[in-house]
Amino acid sequence: MKNLFLLALFLLSNIVFTGCINTSDFKDPDLQVPSISVTSSSIIDGKLLTATAADRKPNDPIGLNQSPALSWTAVEGASYYTLCMFDEDANWLHCFVTDITTTSIEQGAYTAPSQYIGPYPPEAGGKHTYRIEVFAIKTQPNDTIGKLDGQNSYVGLINHLNQVGGHADNIIARGHLTATYENGDYNVISDGVESE
């Protein structure tokens, strides 16, 4: 009984202290809206720059917790754009900002823990895939959508965003890209400075 208790305690502490655990059941809602082009200079060869990773353990190397640089196509009729960064392998929300009025953001535009928590997959967690998606929306939500730095349903997040204003048509266009990151990724930290 004691061994079972210790095993349960170990597993629970692993989830709490290591963050994103691979669950591999990502689902994307089909909204049937036009697609927009999204690009990023914070992704090199399909990998997020180390600077975009969280500035905390278990990351090795420790990142700078800078949101990725992004640009996207303007959408007629959009009042705001929403940025969502989601770990598809762990169903973990890393960013959800709903008040963007421009069509580009610089790397590090969001660094506050209430807006952005960079990737920090566990040491033995392997490669995680991060979906970085921009939504053109009519109305900005008044309430909080999702739990930042926690497990979420992607379908639930997007359906909530789409139903702002009481109608299921708040999202008028969307576009995304994906990139990977894993503990131990050494690449460009910032300003072209190479690490290990």
* Residues 85-131: tens digit of each pLDDT: 999 999 999 999 999 999 999 999 999 999 999 999 888 888 999 99
pLDDT at site 69: 98
- The answer to whether residue 43 is domain-embedded is yes
pTM of the model: 0.84
Number of H helices, E strands in the chain: 2, 10
- The answer to whether residue 130 is domain-embedded is yes
E strand or H helix at 157 = helix 154-162
Q: What is the pLDDT of residues 49-76, one digit of tens each?
A: 999 999 988 888 889 999 999 999 999 9
Residues 28-36 have a mean pLDDT of 92
Mean residue pLDDT across the chain: 85
The torsion defined by the Cα of 183, 187, 190 and 194, in degrees rounded to 10, comes to: 130
Q: What is the CATH number of the domain that holds 152?
A: 3.90.280.10
Q: How many residues does the chain have?
A: 196
pLDDT at site 150: 96
pLDDT at site 73: 96
- The answer to whether residue 93 is domain-embedded is yes
CA distance 57 to 123: 10
pLDDT at site 23: 53
pLDDT at site 119: 95
CA distance 15 to 12: 5
- The answer to whether residue 135 is domain-embedded is yes
- The answer to whether residue 153 is domain-embedded is yes
Residues 159-169 have a mean pLDDT of 91
CA distance 70 to 64: 17
pLDDT at site 124: 80
Q: Which domain holds residue 93?
A: 2-181
Reduced to 3 states (helix: H, G, I; strand: E, B; else coil), residue 96 is strand
| 23 vs 175, higher pLDDT | 175
What's the structural domain count of the chain?
1
Per-residue pLDDT for 13 more than 80? no
Strand partners, 34: none
Per-residue pLDDT for 26 more than 80? no
- The answer to whether residue 107 is domain-embedded is yes
Which of 138, 123, 146 lies closest to 170 in space, CA to CA?
138
- The answer to whether residue 92 is domain-embedded is yes
CA distance 71 to 10: 42
- The answer to whether residue 102 is domain-embedded is yes
Residue that is written with structure tokens 């754009």 in the block: 81
